[in-house]
Structure 1
Amino acid sequence: MDLTGRTALVTGGTRGIGLAIARTLLDHGARVVVTGRGEEHGAEALARLDAGDDVTFCAADATRRPDAERAVDTVVERYGHLDIVVNNVGGATDFATVADITDDAWHRTLALNLDTALYTTRHALARLVPQRSGRIITISSMEGRDPDPGLCAYAAAKHALIGLTRVLAKEVGPHGITANCVCPGAVETDWVTEQGPKAARVLGTDYAGLIRHFVGRTATGRLTRPEEVAAAVLLLASPAGSGITGSCLSVDGGTTV
């Protein structure tokens, strides 16, 4: 799964799953641009990745179309071409049932998960289609396959990403481009520790109870690790994954079996 000579964009790549993906792609020879909203997080990520000129940080808010497009352009300006797009930006800061979700919370969550992938992918296709090659990998979630109550906006967005990816795979396959989703199980990232207590309250429990709930849903008896998600992305990004498109690869410890 050698990626020497390939370039990649990893949105939301400064911490958590995104940082693990960036590290794995770098370890296998790719040159990578990671995005994030804050310069401080960007500097920390570059220090942790320690890959010299092979990694670049681009400050961008992927919910804003100009920022998302600038991130794509940064890869080409820095490394000459674009081969791999990993739509990793996502998450939620609002959790509610369908009966209680507000319009603002609904639209914020869709923007963070769905709009970001659209803006980035659409602009990347202007580069990938003419060169007749490329890999588009979108991070969905187990909640996009078997959702929990109280996470309606997040689950809806993650389901939508799977649908978007399946349509995209049929549209771009003739151009030598693959499009796939990876659906992680619960991973105890910074985002989960920050936002998990809010989700727990909607589910009628506390943070520890939330983690027990997620572990209890698995066949492995543990949470998913960031590097396990990154390994799935590596497969889909590599020559070994050239025959896989329109797929939704679960990395959830058997949660959605």
Structure 2
Amino acid sequence: MSKKLDGKVAVITGSTRSIGRAIAEDFLAEGASVVLSGRSREKGALALKELDAGDRAHFVVSDALEQDQVENLVDESVKHFGAVDILVNNTGGCDGFALIHELSDTAWNRAIDWTLNSAFWATRRALPGMLERGWGRVICISSVEGKRASQPAIGHYITSKHALNGFVKAVAVEYGAQGVTANAICPGAVETDSMAVAGRQAAEAAGISYEQFLAQYAGQAMTGKLNTVDEVAAVATLLASDAGAGMTGGLINVDGGTSPW
């Protein structure tokens, strides 16, 4: 019995753990070959060992803040597997949390590179091959904060995620007729490893505890709870498959009913 992603090659940025890792696991289960990436070679080796997917999984060291490394990730994936059919721009985040009038240039620019520019660099590099084959999937992991603004001291995160959603729309309108779809998944709060670090910093900057920070997100959801990495991965798998061909330019909520649109 064929699987949803048989014969496809997927590149997932920032995928040794958390949401990216869950997406990798789902893609592998559906028959895809997967390229993991991240800054740590040791974490990459551990992820490959844990996935135990043999020659269908590969790791490339790549720092999302460095354009040459992001472009090299795509190039190395093509060299290794022959193509990139599915690109998941999963990396994104920020640090240096502060209110706008105290936010540093460094923190602002780093957030834009981390979330928006990294997606642009990778997508631009992957598109020519997708267009040549007449089939491609670009999936960006955005956020519920890409549709609203609910917390202080994360203005650079809110801005970069809103911009990422606009980028997805631009890719969709330019390439939809050529077989390439582009969508953003907008998760609610997910308590990942990175959230445990960045969330605590954001909470401190906002003058609340980390527990209060998470409780606010859970309380805003119709489900009354945080989301999980598996919930996000399930939607990514749909978008990556032929079944998702009719979906493009979408900003798809996986937020427990938090966002009003």
- After TM superposition, the score normalised by the length of structure 1 is 0.97
Matched residues in 1 for 2:96 and 2:104: separation? 9
Q: Is residue 2:127 matched to residue 1:125?
A: yes
Choose the corresponding residue for 1:253, options 229, 253, 256. Answer: 256
Deviations 1:93-147 (A, max 9, x none): 2212222211111001111111100100000012111111100000110010122
Where do residues 162-181 of structure 1 align in structure 2 (5 Å cutoff)? 162-181=165-184
Partner in structure 2 of residue 25 of structure 1: 27
Where do residues 98-117 of structure 1 align in structure 2 (5 Å cutoff)? 98-117=100-119
Matched residues in 1 for 2:253 and 2:175: separation? 22
Partner in structure 1 of residue 191 of structure 2: 188
Deviations 1:138-185 (A, max 9, x none): 011001012222210001000000001101100011211001000011
Ranges in structure 1 where 5+ consecutive residues have no aligned partner: none
Counterpart of 1:206 in structure 2: which amino acid?
Answer: S
Partner in structure 2 of residue 157 of structure 1: 160
Deviation, 1:195, is 1.6
Counterpart of 2:70 in structure 1: which amino acid?
Answer: A
Choose the corresponding residue for 2:45, options 40, 43, 46. Answer: 43
8 Å CA contact retained: 1:184, 1:252: yes
Moved over 2 A (4+): none
Give SS of 2:101's match.
Answer: coil
Number of matched pairs: 257
Matched residues in 2 for 1:208 and 1:247: separation? 32
8 Å CA contact retained: 2:65, 2:110: no
Matched residues in 2 for 1:244 and 1:159: separation? 19
Deviation, 1:216, is 0.8
Cα RMSD, aligned residues only: 1.0
Matched residues in 2 for 1:91 and 1:109: separation? 6
8 Å CA contact retained: 1:182, 1:251: yes
Identical residues among aligned pairs (%) = 44
Matched residues in 1 for 2:70 and 2:130: separation? 16
Residues 1-10 or 13-22, more deviating: 1-10
Ranges in structure 2 where 5+ consecutive residues have no aligned partner: none
Partner in structure 1 of residue 141 of structure 2: 139
